[in-house]
Every structure is written in structure tokens, then in C-alpha cells.
Chain A
Amino acid sequence: NAGVTQTPKFQVLKTGQSMTLQCAQDMNHEYMSWYRQDPGMGLRLIHYSVGAGITDQGEVPNGYNVSRSTTEDFPLRLLSAAPSQTSVYFCASSYGVEETQYFGPGTRLLVL
């Protein structure tokens, strides 16, 4: 098993550009989520999904879109990048939200 994979590992964007952060898992987990990690702020939930076709907002959803067309994939889209979105992004998955979450290695995003 590859576990949870994220691509790219690092990305530089200009303000206003769009991009998609990819997340995939091969553990047949129903629950998937996206977090951003900023210094002194811990991890904040952006969006989450309890299964294919179902998504919902977390604490800081503005500026981000998600979709869940398959159990395996949960991409995060930035429609118009802003410097405030400079952060490290983590994707996580688990069988259920009360179960152990497995995290991806993270994507470091820099928006200029």
C-alpha cells in the first residue's frame, strides 16, 4: 500500500493563478480531509468528505473547492490563489472520522 499520497510536494504560484492539489489513498477509506498548517496555528480543517459524492466545509473553506468523485481521490482546488493561502497542506484519510487518520506527506505552497 502506498498509503496517502500528495502531489506536488512544493509549488510556487503567482497571485490569481489557479491550481489543484492532488490527494489519493489506496486503503479504501471513506473519510478524507484537507488541512492547512500555519506557524502557531496548528492544523485547521478546510474541507472534508465522508464518502464519494459527499463533501462539506471545515473551519477555513473560503478560497478552496473540493470534489469527491471516487473513494480514492480528493483533490483540493485553489481558484484564484492569494498570498494568505501560503501554507503547508495536508491530506488525511481514515475508515471513519473516529478512527486513526493517516496523513499524507504534505504540500508546501508559496503564493507570491
Chain B
Amino acid sequence: AQTVTQSQPEMSVQEAETVTLSCTYDTSESDYYLFWYKQPPSRQMILVIRQEAYKQQNATENRFSVNFQKAAKSFSLKISDSQLGDAAMYFCAYRIGRDDKIIFGKGTRLHILP
């Protein structure tokens, strides 16, 4: 079965510091896509960053970047210069190339300490 594991149910980081959220996944496929979604208290799901497995270069979006380790099946999210607005649930997700399903992890709740 395809699985996505987020081993950190909750994390805290001081404002302006850097934090890394971990995600591992299990697949035997070589073609797939990985995502990080943010869910603030408003409950709205927002795409943070997306990575194609065939691309070796790690994706970045402003203060958000990923560390994609394909051999280790690891897809961690790094948030630099953390801001109060970054407080949210973060979900890792993936979809394999030949499938139409997206599988989500259970999420990591991130607290930002002022």
C-alpha cells in the first residue's frame, strides 16, 4: 500500500528561525509528484510547494524549500525566517504517475513562538 508518513505530529519554532518538517513515503514507482499543503486555522488548504520526482533540483518558493532525497524516499519542507502567519497544519502528499489518486500524510501542526 502506498503510504505517506509525517513523523512529527507537532513542532514549534521561534519567529525568524528556520524549521524543517519531515515526510517519508513508500512507493516502488519512479514517476511521481510530491506536494506540501498548508492548512491555517481558516481550514482552507493551500499549496505550498510541488516537486516532480524526475527533477533532481529541489523546488523552492520564496521562504519555502524542500530537500528531496529520492533514494531515501524523503521529502522534507524547510521554512526559513518563520513568520507568525506560517502557523498551520502542514500536509505532505504524493501521487504516482500512472494513478489518479493523491495520498496525504496525517499532518504536522506548526506553532510559531513570538
Contact = CB atoms under 8 A, between A and B. Distances in A.
Contacts of A106: 43-44
B44 A97 contact: no
Nearest to B97: A98
Interface of B is mostly: loop
Interface string B13-51: 000000000000000000001010000000111110010
Interface residues of B, number: 24
Interface string B67-109: 0000000000000000000000001010101011111111100
A42 B105 contact: yes
Contacts of A98: 33, 52, 95, 97
Interface stretch (A12-20, A43-51, A63-71): A43-51
A45 B103 contact: yes
Given A48-B101, A58-B101, A103 B106 contact: no
B45 A90 contact: yes
Interface of A is mostly: strand
Task: Assign chain A's interface to a size class.
Answer: 20 to 34
A35 B33 CA distance: 19
Interface in A7-58: 31, 33, 35, 40-45, 48, 50, 56, 58
A98 B47 CA distance: 12
Given A98-B33, A101-B47, A50 B104 contact: no
A103 B44 contact: yes
Nearest to A96: B100
11 contacts: A42-B6, A43-B91, A48-B101, A50-B100, A88-B43, A97-B99, A98-B33, A98-B97, A100-B47, A100-B50, A103-B46
